[in-house]
Amino acid sequence: KMGDTTISYLIDSANYVFLIDTFLGPISMGYIKDYLIEKNLTKKKMIIFITHGHWDHYWGNAVFPEALIIGQELCRTKIMADGQQNLEKYIDFAEGTIQIVPPQITFLSKLSFPEENLEFTHTPGHTKCCASCYDVLDDILIVGDNIEDPIPYLMEGDLTPYITTLENYIEQNPKVIIPGHGKEQENLDLVIRNLEYVRNVSQNTVDFTEFTKTHILLHAENMKFLANVAMENQTRDLALQYLQSGLVALKQENYDNHQNLLRELEDLMHSI
Ligand SMILES: [Zn+2]
């Protein structure tokens, strides 16, 4: 979730130090700086990898002016397009003074560092620009926001690439999966649950009976987003289907803090 604690991950490889995602700015990145000094890693050249172009993953980029920043091509495009605007919008989350720095080296489908045993792959899902980092030696896969507990935030209208990405993660079956927020995963359970959810959304077969309060709220937010995209694409039936799904979920339990969202979905429904 944006604004929640984002995981930054350091990899000390043969010739470089790789930093995956830079969170919210200078204050949180201060811990990374201290750690690098403590471990005597400041002489190594740093390469920063940004998993995707959401502000809570790259606001600390400018803290390391010597570093080279890499990212998927669309990640750069996104940051160039909405970085400044989102900085103003979410300024309350800033940890120190933020300067927007997009990736300086981009790749399309894959970028490999064979000597470092690291591979960066375009894995669209949560956003079009999502990419993952695979640490070959340790069999660790860093997936950014493509995996989330309990269910992912859907932020693209087309769910097909997301399904493919999650299927690929399962086929790859790494020892450890590091998500962008929350706990590291030592099995595929959460990936499988996330895949099931995205598939069910795409087939309109979501079953809410096991959903918790948080689950329901997230699902309804997702449905609002997808319904808006469907309306923009003038696919009215699809929009109705999403709104219906969100409304049924929200009406299942009578939670006070769901009332606003419920009203929003109902208004959207009437506007179609
Ligand atoms: Zn994100």
50 C-alpha to ligand 1 centroid (Å) = 11
Cα separation, 18 vs 33, whole angstroms: 13
pLDDT at 1: 37
Query: Going residue by residue through the chain (272 aa), what tens digit of pLDDT does each one get?
Result: 344 677 888 999 999 999 999 998 888 888 889 999 999 999 999 999 999 999 999 999 999 999 999 999 999 999 999 999 999 999 998 888 999 999 999 999 999 999 999 999 999 999 999 999 999 999 999 999 999 999 999 999 999 999 999 999 999 999 999 999 988 999 999 999 999 999 999 999 998 878 888 889 999 999 999 999 999 998 999 999 999 999 988 888 767 777 888 999 999 988 88
148 C-alpha to ligand 1 centroid (Å) = 10
pLDDT at 3: 46
The predicted-structure confidence for 247-258, as pLDDT tens digits, reads as follows 988 888 767 777
Enter the tokens of residue 34. Answer: 């201290």
38 C-alpha to ligand 1 centroid (Å) = 30
146 C-alpha to ligand 1 centroid (Å) = 8
pLDDT at 4: 60
144 C-alpha to ligand 1 centroid (Å) = 7
Question: Measured at the alpha carbon of residue 222, what is the angle toward residues 259 and 131, in degrees to the nearest 5?
Answer: 145
153 C-alpha to ligand 1 centroid (Å) = 8
126 C-alpha to ligand 1 centroid (Å) = 7
Ion ligand 1: residues, CB within 5 A, are 54, 145
23 C-alpha to ligand 1 centroid (Å) = 11
pLDDT at 71: 97
pLDDT at 182: 87
pLDDT at 60: 93
270 C-alpha to ligand 1 centroid (Å) = 30
pLDDT at 2: 46
205 C-alpha to ligand 1 centroid (Å) = 25
CATH number for the domain formed by residue range(s) 9-202: 3.60.15.10
140 C-alpha to ligand 1 centroid (Å) = 20
Cα separation, 185 vs 166, whole angstroms: 14
Cα separation, 117 vs 59, whole angstroms: 27
Collapsed DSSP state (helix, strand, coil) of residue 216: helix
Count of beta carbons in the 10 Å neighbourhood of residue 246: 29
147 C-alpha to ligand 1 centroid (Å) = 10
The predicted-structure confidence for 177-186, as pLDDT tens digits, reads as follows 999 998 899 9
145 C-alpha to ligand 1 centroid (Å) = 5
